[in-house]
Chain A
């Protein structure tokens, strides 16, 4: 089981502020992911990375950006927060695709409220 850490766990911030959500994993996993989840709704993939210096957009369009400078670190940034960004953000990682499947392990999430 992976150790995935997300900070902060909760964030209340005003409109227009720049925020960075942190995600770190200690298992050396190559692939990392960011999901957005609204109450009662499914997880939607917004960004993923399959290694250092690689980032891709997910299925759900997002105004956020990500970077992957180190294997263990995958931060998500919102340059100018808006109330529509209010949601729960979940980070996950998975081991290299050595087998036929890649299990994703999730962090505890960051609950963001933009006023």
Chain B
């Protein structure tokens, strides 16, 4: 069964204190791994897609990496505005219309204090 596990559930950082969020996945055949940011009461906002092991992508203070079993979202020198829940999702190879469907983890709630 395809599965996504994110850790930690919650992370509190001081402004400027770098850290990483983990996303472990089990999937029959990885088509893509997605990172989203979700603010309270809002829909998820797309951040990155990773396709293959060894791939890395960056956006401002965020850097996502991918191995065959997990992905990391590195946050460098975070600011209070980076506070949000970060969601990881995987997309598996399949058949028909279900091929694009995503399986989400529960997310990591990040709080950055000034």
Q: Contact residues of A with B, CB < 8 Å? A: 1, 4, 6, 31, 33, 40-45, 48, 50, 54, 56, 58-59, 90-92, 94, 97, 100-109, 111
Contacts and interface: CB of A to CB of B under 8 A. Distances in A.
Contacts, number: 70
A90 B46 contact: no
A45 B101 contact: yes
Given A43-B87, A103-B34, A48 B105 contact: no
Contact of A101 (B4, B36, B51, B98): B51
Nearest to B91: A101
A45 B113 CA distance: 33
Interface of B: 4, 31-32, 34, 36, 41-46, 49, 51, 87, 89, 91, 97-107
Contacts of B89: 43
A4 B46 CA distance: 13
Contacts of A50: 97, 100
Given A42-B105, A42-B106, A97 B43 contact: no
Given A41-B106, A48-B97, 17 more contacts: A1-B46, A31-B97, A33-B101, A42-B87, A42-B104, A43-B44, A43-B87, A48-B101, A50-B100, A59-B103, A91-B43, A100-B51, A102-B91, A102-B100, A104-B100, A105-B46, A109-B41
Contacts of B105: 42
A1 B45 CA distance: 10
Contact of B100 (A4, A43, A58, A97): A97
A97 B91 CA distance: 13
A112 to B, nearest CB: 13
A44 B41 CA distance: 16
B101 A58 contact: yes
Nearest to A44: B104
